[in-house]
Structure 1
Amino acid sequence: YLEVPITDTFYGVDLNRRPAETAQESTERVAQELQRQGIRTEINDFLILLPDHLVAIETNECVAWFDPEYWSLEDFLETSFLA
């Protein structure tokens, strides 16, 4: 498991909250932009889950990568939905 602060983009998508954008709007915008690139996403409150990559994104905060050698998809989803 590795968590890093937001730098700028993920797959070319801006992960920083835009002025006058709520956290929920930011989450939905980023998820939609990733989906347009063919990346499957699920939203859990303010987390964007990328189940195929074992990645969780909290816009304006951090990106967390879960090591597939250690984490199963079920463990990733369970942990992410409990966060």
Structure 2
Amino acid sequence: MRYTTEFTLPFGLGHPTAECEKDCYDYFYNDKTFGRDLEGFIDVRDRDPENEGVKIVAMVRDGLCVTATVPLDDPEADTFCGQPLIPLSGESYRDAQSRLIADLEKQGIRTQRQFNGIALLDHFVIVDIRDSITWWDPTYWGHDGFTENAVALYPIED
């Protein structure tokens, strides 16, 4: 799949859980000690005819799905803003992060290297190479909430 800073999947990020359940062709709730997640599968054949479904994991707060995480189904084929999401031949994980950061910054996207990936500070997105992409609902979190809950947790200075 080709992912970007914009959340364009057929899933209601920021919507009530009842609406989000309808976006999934299969789903369940995962209750954790620190909250609840809606885990489901959404149909993406209109975006990628060769791919029937994508798993999505949404953090639930106040009855809303306030994040949407897509575990990378095919990291060798998945891209983010045109860049591969795996280390290329001879690259380390950190080299792959640096390559993606450099490319995103050339596109005018502010980034911060994280313990768990790359934070896109103005887009409410965390990209974890080889693992997942998470979009945070800006209307729920606001810039301070996103910074406090996603960005400030694991910053790494270069």
TM bin (shorter chain): 0.7 to 0.9
- Unpaired stretches in structure 2, ≥5 consecutive residues: 1-66
> AA paired with 2:148?
E
Deviation string for 1:21-79 (max 9, x for gaps)?
22111111111111111111111234211111100001111100000121111211222
Matches within 5 A, 1:3-82: 3-6=69-72, 7=74, 8-80=78-150, 81-82=152-153
Partner of 2:68: 2
Cα RMSD of the aligned pairs, angstroms, is: 1.6
Q: Which structure: larger Rg?
A: 2
After TM superposition, which residue ranges in structure 1, 4 or more long, deviate above 4 angstroms?
none
Cα distance in 2 for partners of 1:5, 1:29 equals: 21
Greater shift in the superposed pair: 3-12 or 34-43:
3-12
Count of aligned pairs between the two proteins: 83
Greater shift in the superposed pair: 6-15 or 49-58:
6-15
Cα distance in 2 for partners of 1:46, 1:22 equals: 15
Cα distance in 1 for partners of 2:96, 2:89 equals: 10
* Greater helix share, structure number: 1
Structure showing greater relative contact order (alpha-carbon pairs closer than 8 Å, 6 or more residues apart) = 1
TM-score of the aligned structures, taking structure 2 as reference length: 0.48
Q: What's the % identity of the aligned pairs?
A: 34
* Greater strand share, structure number: 2
